[in-house]
Structure formats: C-alpha cells, structure tokens
Amino acid sequence: MKYKPVLIIVFLILIAIILIFTISESPDMEESGTEILAQNLDTPWAIDFLPDDRIIFTERGGKVSILDNGTTKIVGEINSNEVSESGLLGIAVDPEFNTNKFIYLYYTGPNGNRISRFTLNERLENETILLDNIPGAAIHDGGRLKFGPDGKLYATSGDANDRSLAQDTNSLAGKILRLNKDGSIPPDNPFNNYVYSYGHRNPQGITWNPVTGQMYSSEHGQTRNDEINIIVKGGNYGWPVYQGNDSANGYIKPLIFYQDFTLAPSGISYYNGNLYVAGLRGTQLRKITLGADGNTITGEEELFTDLGRIREAVEHNGYLYISTSNRDGRGIPQSNDDKIIRIKLN
C-alpha cells in the first residue's frame, strides 16, 4: 500500500502526456495568431466587415448576425428558402456604409435567387429588391456577393442545375453578374444586361488584386475539374462545352484546375501575392502562390486540413477569416461546429 501514492502520481503524469500529445495532433490550430471567434453556428456562409471592423455574417438558414468582441447578435432573419445548397448566401457592406447604412444580401426567395438591399440600424429593415428571378435550384446557386474596386456590386450565380443556361448570355444563370448599387445595369457591361462573364457551372468565390484590379473566381467542376479562373469582362469560361484544361477556341482556360481530387472551392481571397481558397469537399484551406504577373502559379499548400468543410475565406486588415460548413448536410460536425476562425497572415 505504501506504493499507492506513487502509482497515482505516475498515472496522472501518463494522462497528462496523453492529453498533450492529443492536442499537438492538430498543428494547424496551434499556429500563431489563430483563434476561434464564434462557434455553435449553423452553416455560416458569408462574412463581411462594417467600417468599425465588426463582423457581419450570414447563416444559410436565414440569420444575419454581427460579431463583436466574442458576442454574436442577430440583426436580421431573412425568409429564405433553404433546401440543400440554397438559402441565405452572400453578404456585402456598402463602401459608403457610414452615410447610407446599406447592407446587400443574396438569398433564395419565392422566385429563385435575388439580390436585395437593406438598411441596418438596430436591425435590417427596408428591403429593396435590386435583382430578382436569378434562376435557382436545390443545387448550383452560386451566391457570392462583393463590391469590386470599381465600386460595382458583383454576384456569382450557378447554372441552377440547368447546364444549358450557362452559355445563354440572356440568362442570369451560370454567370458572374455586375450591377450598380441601385440595381441598374452599368452601361459598360459587355452584353447590355447584368452579365459580366458566362459559361460558369457553380462559382462560389470572387476576389481582386487591390493593386492591379485583377479578378479571380473559384468554381465547382463536374466530377472534379474544379477551377480557379482569372475573370475578364465578357469572357466565356466554357461550361458546359468544356471544363478543366480542355482547349477550344473562344473559351478561357482556368488559371488552375484540379482533376486528381475534388476541392469544391467556395470563398476565395487575395492577399500579398497569394490566393486563399476555402475547400468544402476538399476539407482544407488552400494557399496558392502567384507569380509576379498574377497569371501563373509558383506554389500550392494545404492548410487547416483538420477542420472539415471550409466555406468562406476573406481577408481583412492582415487577417484571414474562415468559416466551417460541417452542419450543411454534407459534413460531419465536430465539437462546437460551425465556427468562424481568424488567422494572422504573414
């Protein structure tokens, strides 16, 4: 019996060693400057920032919330039609928010997908529908919404499970759309309508190099063949005629495509010569290093492969903000999912 205290101490030391080893098996989350900002969310889809640096974000079921110093406050509940991939998707804060208080949302309504403008006071109010009847379906709804360097509002739309629409420049499906803040058509759009580029299957991310204005997009392929594209006005990106690295006259090849595995890319963000791409089925944050011209790839890296499905990736003030999507019906929820995570960029 005199050895019992010693055995207890040895047992406790072994338990401590096991716990330390278990924690160290998730090296991504130990990276300096990485922290969980919010958790126990339900499919957070898009993130943007108010001028005072507070986070405003959507959850696909219809909630719009503001995250401020660890506290989440719901400021809107949108009557969106959440079925499979549809629901409340993109969000964008007006560049002149301090004077007009405008917030823009992309969501699935009764007539397909729509883009609406709201006024944010204590809550979202005064909805103004800017663009309605964007073809929608249970799958392939696109949904990313961002302001470009030119002050125009850009939106991605999927082919709404009707691939023929992607090549029709009179259809809003399978496109990257561009509109003025009041919902009117910019006079320099290439087809005299909202279409900016076409031939897309299901683009879910757009970003720009803030210095050159170069625009990039992430897009879901069919049976792999996911793409990262350089977007040009009036460009045809091939779907459904071709995808991936197939070559054909009149179609723009992707900057990079993935035929060996399914990345299922969603949010994408440019920072300091790199593209950061959220991978859903690929369960990773993918870092793509660009050449000096922005048109070539010099390296790739998989990051944060232990978080499951990653939906959003957006840079703000030298930090990357990502969200998990493990409660979207296609993932395996981990403890306290879903989460918004902040990562310090070098």
pLDDT tens digits, one per residue of 267-279? 999 999 999 999 9
The question of whether 200 is a catalytic residue gets the answer no
C-alpha 144, offset from chain centre? 6
The predicted model gives 201-228 an average pLDDT of 97
Res 18: pLDDT: 37
Q: Which is more confidently placed, 154 or 2?
A: 154
Give phi and psi for 164, each to the nearest 5: -65, -25
Q: For the whole model, what pTM was predicted?
A: 0.91
Q: For residue 199, what is the DSSP state?
A: -
- 142 confidence band (pLDDT: 50, 70, 90): very high
Q: Kindly give the pairing relationship between strand 256-258 and strand 265-271.
A: unpaired
Q: What CATH class is the domain 33-344?
A: mainly beta
The predicted model gives 326-334 an average pLDDT of 96
Q: Over the chain, what is the mean pLDDT?
A: 92
- 223 confidence band (pLDDT: 50, 70, 90): confident
Q: How is the chain split into domains, by residue range? A: 33-344
- 22 confidence band (pLDDT: 50, 70, 90): very low
How confident is the model over 67-123, as pLDDT tens digits?
Answer: 999 999 999 999 999 999 999 999 999 999 999 999 999 999 999 999 999 999 999
The predicted model gives 281-309 an average pLDDT of 97
- What letters, b where the CB count within 10 A reaches 16 and e where it falls short, cover 217-251? bbbbbeebbbbbbbbeeebbbbbbeebbeeeeeeb
Whether the CB-CB separation of 34 and 344 falls below 8 Å is answered with yes
Q: How many CA atoms lie within 13 A of 160 on its CB side?
A: 19
Instruction: Name every residue whose Cβ is closer than 8 Å to that of residue 276 and which is 6 or more positions away in sequence.
Output: 268, 269, 270, 285, 286, 287, 288, 313, 315, 320
* pLDDT over 50 (residue 27): no
Res 5: pLDDT: 52
Share of the chain above pLDDT 70, in %: 90
Q: 140, 200, 220, 316: which one is catalytic?
A: 140
Whether the CB-CB separation of 297 and 245 falls below 8 Å is answered with no
Res 346: pLDDT: 81
